[in-house]
């Protein structure tokens, strides 16, 4: 089924699909990077865990009426998705202060942000994905302010769905990053992945960090934590 390698990112490889112009295959890799590639480590089994976790999240969002690129899980490490042109924005939604927000603005980690904050970052490794405002986003992507407003609204409604999804598994959704892409007909859909690489998840009772911060901050073994997330989702959330 797999055609040629189109693109290799830090966490996934993207392949064309033989005979299918409008579909792609995503293969999740076992590598983890942090701080714009400064920190790197191989974690056997990570690709499988993120593929299965992200598949479950996208199936749930589909059930809730969100338009996404996800079609189906093909294997332990691969999924079939619609071919989109990725919009070079990282859309971050924050329910609780942590990470770069706490560092940049001095807001104490754990402070509740109500309503959630939505931010745009320019997806450009060479520039280390800088934080940008709406006017920069319109200039850099060629999208209208109306499209950007639509993306923000989508991000807020995805946040509401994801909060209940993870709550079922006794996890607090602290923040997360989304990417959107354009289908061949020009419509904008949710793309990329949603996994413990792209979300901060804290245990509801103990506030234990159960996401890529365990690698960023050298807290615990990443694979054990991601395995625990998948187990909780399989036990508690039915899609």
The residues that touch ligand TMP, with contacts defined as CB under 6 A, are 92, 98-101, 129, 175-177, 198-200
Which one of ligand TMP, ligand ASP, none is in contact with 83 (Cβ closer than 5 to 8 A by kind)?
none
Which one of ligand ASP, ligand TMP, none is in contact with 10 (Cβ closer than 5 to 8 A by kind)?
ligand ASP
- Identify which of residues 74 and 92 has a Cβ nearer to ligand ASP in the complex: 92
- Measure Cα distances from 139 to 78, 136, 143, 148, 231 in Å: 34, 5, 8, 11, 43
Distance separating alpha carbons of residues 7 and 19, to the nearest angstrom: 18
134 near 120, Cβ under 8 Å?
yes
Which residue number is nearest to ligand TMP in terms of Cβ?
99
- Identify which of residues 37 and 110 has a Cβ nearer to ligand ASP in the complex: 37
Which residue number is nearest to ligand ASP in terms of Cβ?
33
Distance separating alpha carbons of residues 189 and 198, to the nearest angstrom: 17
CB of 87 to ligand ASP, least distance (A): 18
- Measure Cα distances from 107 to 97, 102, 103, 134, 169 in Å: 6, 5, 7, 22, 27
- Identify which of residues 10 and 236 has a Cβ nearer to ligand TMP in the complex: 10
Tokens linked to 233:
């989702």
Footprint on this chain of ligand ASP (rule: CB under 6 A)? 10, 33-37, 212, 216
CB of 143 to ligand TMP, least distance (A): 20
Tokens linked to 183:
């289908």
∠ CA 93-134-187 to the nearest 5 degrees?
A: 75
DSSP assignment letter at 171: E
- Identify which of residues 208 and 216 has a Cβ nearer to ligand ASP in the complex: 216
Which one of ligand ASP, ligand TMP, none is in contact with 33 (Cβ closer than 5 to 8 A by kind)?
ligand ASP
- Identify which of residues 177 and 182 has a Cβ nearer to ligand TMP in the complex: 177
Element containing residue 233 per DSSP (H, E)? helix 222-236
CB of 100 to ligand ASP, least distance (A): 9
Which one of ligand TMP, ligand ASP, none is in contact with 67 (Cβ closer than 5 to 8 A by kind)?
none
Give the position of tokens 């701080």: 35
174 near 159, Cβ under 8 Å?
no
- Identify which of residues 16 and 100 has a Cβ nearer to ligand TMP in the complex: 100
Give the position of tokens 């338009």: 67
Kindly report the number of other CB atoms within 10 A of residue 22's CB atom: 11
Which one of ligand TMP, ligand ASP, none is in contact with 34 (Cβ closer than 5 to 8 A by kind)?
ligand ASP
CB of 36 to ligand ASP, least distance (A): 4
């Amino acid at each position: 089924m797999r055609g040629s390698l189109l693109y290799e990112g830090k966490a996934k490889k993207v392949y064309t699909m033989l005979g299918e112009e409008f579909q792609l295959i995503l293969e999740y890799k076992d590598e983890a990077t942090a701080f714009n590639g400064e920190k790197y480590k191989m974690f056997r089994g990570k690709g499988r865990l993120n593929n299965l976790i992200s598949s479950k999240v996208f199936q749930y969002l589909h059930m809730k009426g969100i338009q996404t690129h996800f079609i189906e899980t093909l294997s332990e490490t691969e999924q079939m998705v619609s071919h989109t042109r990725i919009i070079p924005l990282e859309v971050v939604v924050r329910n609780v202060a942590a990470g770069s927000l706490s560092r940049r603005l001095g807001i104490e980690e754990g402070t509740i942000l109500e309503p959630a904050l939505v931010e745009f970052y320019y997806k450009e490794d060479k520039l280390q994905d800088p934080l940008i405002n709406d006017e920069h986003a319109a200039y850099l992507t060629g999208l209208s302010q109306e499209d950007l407003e639509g993306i923000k609204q989508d991000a807020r409604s995805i946040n509401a769905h994801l909060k209940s999804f993870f709550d079922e598994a006794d996890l607090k959704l602290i923040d997360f990053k989304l990417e959107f892409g354009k289908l061949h007909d020009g419509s904008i859909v949710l793309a990329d992945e949603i996994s413990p690489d792209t979300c901060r998840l804290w245990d509801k009772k103990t506030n234990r960090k159960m996401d890529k911060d365990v690698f960023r901050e050298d807290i615990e073994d990443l694979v054990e934590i991601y395995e625990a997330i998948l187990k909780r989702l399989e036990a508690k959330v039915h899609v």
